[in-house]
Amino acid sequence: MPRNFGETAVLLLDCPDQPGLVARVSGLLFDLGATILHADQHQDHELGLFFMRVEWTSARATSTDSASDLDAFDSLFEAFRTAFTPLAEVLSMRWQLRRTGHRPRVALYCSQYLHCAADLLDRVRSAELSCHVALIISNHRAVEPLAAFHGIPFHCIPVTAATRAQAESAQLALLADHRIELIVLARYMQILSPEFVERYPSAIINVHHSFLPAFIGARPYHAAHQRGVKLIGATSHYVTSALDDGPIIEQDVARISHRDQVENLVARGRDLERIVLARAVRWHLEHRILCFGNKTVVFD
């Protein structure tokens, strides 16, 4: 029977590359009584940077997942945080430590196209995505029946150029009330202000219906058809203040031909959009992504 390790922790870090980094991290975990379950690292030789993801648990974990095991993990988690902080400072590390048992609270944004929102909600319902969708916000009412079916609070907040500031203020109040940790734009066809984006750094994931950086904006399938491209794609990325220019998390493509019309591109593109957005959200929830500059490292 496979061993159940109970709750685990994930350490994500990046720092200037130098010899012995893996040994320093793994050695500290060993000294504190941790068991490493998965480890992955990457070196960017051009920038001289080192990236690492380590998932670990208490060596005392058993298949019973008893209260004493949880207490041991809690103690180890805090002991590691305390011991690692000065080491990270000496090595100029940016780092984050997360517990995998925590289910982040997510806000789902969409407009009139519901294929991505419906797909994500189904994946959450089937426990494929480990999160709690606490809120759905839209500038249209098309998603309201879907929200009601899943029992999720829904708020329709219309947005115009003249009312954008007031609409975002109302949204931010809702996000705070629901203690939202991640925002997913599931074909939300509105541009967020830089002030809004700054409130959730690396915590807003968007899906764009194009293989970025090609065909940014609202009608990429039409632009792709006019250009006569032979591949269409979809891109999931973190949102920044620059339109459709945030760090890319995942992309996928489909081959098309001169026989395909715009409606064919839209239909095939929707399948790609579902896939790349679900992958990006899952990798974020599993703490597999590190951002640096305008790029990402996505660990296996």
Residue 271: CB atoms within 10 Å? 14
Token reading at 238: 């973190």
Cα 249 to chain centroid distance, Å, stands at: 8
Report the share of the chain in percent with pLDDT over 70.
91
Domain limit, last residue, from 80, 99, 118: 99
Residues 54 and 195 in one domain: no
| 292 within a domain of the structure (yes/no) | yes
Residues 190 and 113 in one domain: yes
On the question of pLDDT at 87 being above 80, the answer is yes
Residues 93 and 140 in one domain: no
32-to-24, 56, 57, 84, 233 alpha-carbon distances in Å = 12, 11, 11, 11, 46
Residues 112 and 246 in one domain: yes
The average confidence (pLDDT) of the chain is 91
On the question of pLDDT at 60 being above 80, the answer is no
| 35 within a domain of the structure (yes/no) | yes
Instruction: Specify the 3-state DSSP secondary structure of 207.
Output: strand
Residues 54 and 163 in one domain: no
| 3 within a domain of the structure (yes/no) | no
CA distance linking residue 66 with residue 85, whole number of Å: 29
Residues 181 and 224 in one domain: yes
Domain limit, last residue, from 52, 76, 99: 99
In this predicted structure, what is the pLDDT of residue 142? 97
Q: Which residue has the tokens 């070196």?
A: 43
Q: Which residues contact 233 (CB under 8 A, 6 or more apart)?
A: 210, 211, 251, 252, 253, 254, 269, 272
Residues 238 and 153 in one domain: yes
Q: pLDDT tens, 150-166?
A: 999 999 999 998 999 99
In this predicted structure, what is the pLDDT of residue 72? 83
Q: Tell me, letter by letter, the H, E, C secondary structure of 6-48.
A: CCCEEEEEEEECCCCHHHHHHHHHHHHCEEEEEEEEEEECCCC
Average pLDDT of 232-253?
91
Specify the pTM: 0.90
Which residues belong to the active site? Answer: 244
Residues 124 and 268 in one domain: yes
Residues 94 and 177 in one domain: no
CA distance linking residue 115 with residue 36, whole number of Å: 38
Residues 152 and 240 in one domain: yes
Band of pLDDT at residue 80, cut at 50, 70 and 90? very high
Domain limit, last residue, from 48, 66, 99: 99
Residue (of 281, 198, 289) closest to 14 by Cα position:
289
In this predicted structure, what is the pLDDT of residue 118? 98
Band of pLDDT at residue 1, cut at 50, 70 and 90? very low
On the question of pLDDT at 61 being above 90, the answer is no
Max CA pair span of the chain: 64
| 53 within a domain of the structure (yes/no) | yes
| 1 within a domain of the structure (yes/no) | no
Average pLDDT of 72-87?
94
Average pLDDT of 46-67?
81
| CATH of residue 251 | 3.40.50.170
| 4 within a domain of the structure (yes/no) | no
Average pLDDT of 81-102?
96
- The number of C-alpha atoms within 13 Å of 203 and in the hemisphere containing its C-beta is 15
| 2 within a domain of the structure (yes/no) | no
Cα separation of the two ends of the chain: 25
Residues 109 and 191 in one domain: yes
CA distance linking residue 288 with residue 300, whole number of Å: 7
In this predicted structure, what is the pLDDT of residue 293? 85
Band of pLDDT at residue 2, cut at 50, 70 and 90? very low
Q: Which of 33-37, 69-73, 89-93, 242-246 has the lowest mean pLDDT?
A: 69-73
Full domain range(s) for residue 80: 9-99
Report the share of the chain in percent with pLDDT over 90.
74
In this predicted structure, what is the pLDDT of residue 144? 98
On the question of pLDDT at 90 being above 80, the answer is yes
Token reading at 187: 């074909």
Q: Which residues contact 274 (CB under 8 A, 6 or more apart)?
A: 115, 116, 119
What stretches of the chain show up as alpha helix (H) in DSSP?
A: 21-32, 67-90, 115-125, 144-150, 164-177, 194-198, 220-227, 262-285
Residues 287 and 141 in one domain: yes
| 42 within a domain of the structure (yes/no) | yes
Q: pLDDT tens, 202-236?
A: 999 999 887 666 666 667 767 776 787 777 889 99
Give the total number of structural domains in the chain: 2
On the question of pLDDT at 42 being above 80, the answer is yes
**Cβ pair 7, 103 in contact under 8 A:** no
On the question of pLDDT at 117 being above 50, the answer is yes
Average pLDDT of 107-113?
96
| CATH of residue 94 | 3.30.70.260
